[in-house]
Amino acid sequence: MREMFYSEFVEVYEKLYGTSKRLEKEAILAEFLNKLEKKGDSEWIYLLRGKVFPDYDEREFGISGQLVIKTIASAFGIKEEQILSMYREIGDLGEIAEEFSGKKRQAKLFGGRLTVSKVFGNLRKIVDIEGKGAVGKKVELIAELLGIAESGEAKYIVRTLLSDLRVGVADGILRDALASAFFEDRVEVKELIGRAYDICNDFAEVFEAAKKGRKELEKIEIVPGKPMNVMLAVKVDDIGEAFEACGKPAAIEHKYDGFRVMISKKKEEIKLFTRRLENVTKQFPDVVEAVKKNVKGESFILDSEVVGFNPGTKKYLPFEAISQRIKRKYDIDKLKKELPVEVNVFDVIYYNGKNLMSSPFRERRKILERIVKNAELKIRSARQIITDSEDKAMEFYQEALKIGEEGIMVKNLDAPYQQGRRVGFMVKLKPVANDFDLVIVGAEYGSGKRAGWLTSYIVACRDNDKLLEIGKVSSGLKEKSPADRKSAGPEIPHKISGKEGTSYDEMTKLLKILIKEEEGKIVKVKPEIVVSVTYQNIQKSPSYSSGYALRFPRITRYRPDRSVKDIASLSEIEREVGKRGRKR
């Protein structure tokens, strides 16, 4: 491997930053990937998206804006107050680092050029530093890089550390660039690369395989112990539309109001992953125990929905009631008792060394029923009927709603397990509710009794790899903070009821650590917080980049189990607008 200079990455960053056109970005990346193949390390591909680990790896830099300010001050001998003043005006610590680096010309003083291996190595060291003196050690490693860096390099080092690269390289663009870089029949290969990535969630692994050809890409298979992207359903409006999409007869199952969990067992180790690829094994020891006792097999990957229930009444609870368990790192035993859960297993995609993804759903279900022993309020196979009767399907649907489920899932019996949304494989039907999952991209500070809180949120949908604003929503969250709630009564009952929901105070804390820019009362945030938003109708609007606005929007729940990949697409919104137009 011949060494690369970090300036070669910076040159690519600048080209990517200079265009918003997808095909241009793809061409820029494809050319660079050919260069990276010849003189780089496959893992360096992570840097194109501002990372140093694959997507399934949860480790983070843990670098705040304040720590970067401290580091820039240390590297260039400047007072922190001066940097903070500039930051309020410019809003980009990367540009500030670039300016001071250019003035100091530290690279010449150190007598060397910054290599990619040096940048990559220091960044990985920063991630792993913990314990006493961690801040000082991180500052030292960053300052070393900034000291050697030329001006443009300093900008992108800082942006990488703050997870704010700003070059617009989403998953889809990088997948397409890999196809363009290494294959002449790139249109056909794009789907193969997409499949490989959905399985391993590691661009370095896909890059390494793509360099060697189609056969190597086809060898990438699911492995117990690693997270993977899940198969998703599309919404339908009635039973007839569901059968039209999935065929007759079809499997019909309850749609649970919980969160998706992929259960993975390899030898004796069981791991739990959310659809965001987060490892939540430690947060749910009760699920691990239920799987150990009630699922036969040396190795497997199960698709499931984890649902909360009231330990007193045994009634199922809305997702909001147990959502806090997903992120909680402490008081696990206490929460396990106060917010118990039941596992509903509805698919098996790997069993005892065999990949079952290409097997028909009817065969996967038979295996599932054979290996899962139902244990009341612990774990069970998802309740299912197989029918071609719309009347029986509607009866099953009404039963599901009566016991508090969200609705039903309708599945094609002959379909393989294919990640992403595939019409004809699986659809969902629930009572008509005008709602979308959207991501918060901006917010505004409130006034009066809401002063100090971010209380008005700009939400966005996705259009391929772009995020497009579709309105502002300021209602639906609770006024009271957790401290206020505790003083008003017992600690847990309000959470079990699932009625209190997320407060403005809690949402503000979530968003503050994601702020990218701040101007007066308005902030722009990294697109990580997904919320479900109901609305009365959708109207055309030049005020938002999607071209649409939601009328009378209201946040109904915070979705920590979902990512930007899961939010509504512009095509879904346009389809909904079309439906409403026809109904009128």
Catalytic residues: 255
What are the φ/ψ torsions at residue 379 (nearest 5 degrees)? -160, 145
How many residues in total does the chain contain?
A: 584
Q: Which pair of tokens denotes residue 49? A: 């998206």
Q: Which pair of tokens denotes residue 381? A: 């196979």
Dihedral sign, CA of 192, 413, 224, 322?
positive
In the numeric block, the tokens 């196809």 are attached to: 179
DSSP string for 498-525: T-S--BHHHHHHHHHTTEEEEETTEEEE
Q: Which pair of tokens denotes residue 201? A: 């969630």
Cis peptide before 249 (omega within 30 of 0): yes
Q: Which pair of tokens denotes residue 142? A: 């960053």
Contact 107, 148 (CB under 8 A): yes
Q: Which pair of tokens denotes residue 558? A: 């915070």
Nearest to 383 by CA among 256, 492, 511: 256
- How far apart are the C-alpha atoms of 390 and 408, rounded to whole Å? 13
Question: What 3 state SS string does 549-574 have?
Answer: EEECCEEEEECCCCCHHHCCEHHHHH
Nearest to 233 by CA among 412, 443, 51: 412
Q: Where does 127-203 show beta strands of DSSP type E?
A: none
H or E element in which residue 319 lies: helix 319-322
CA dihedral 259, 260, 266, 269 (to 10 degrees): -10
Nearest to 321 by CA among 490, 500, 489, 479: 500
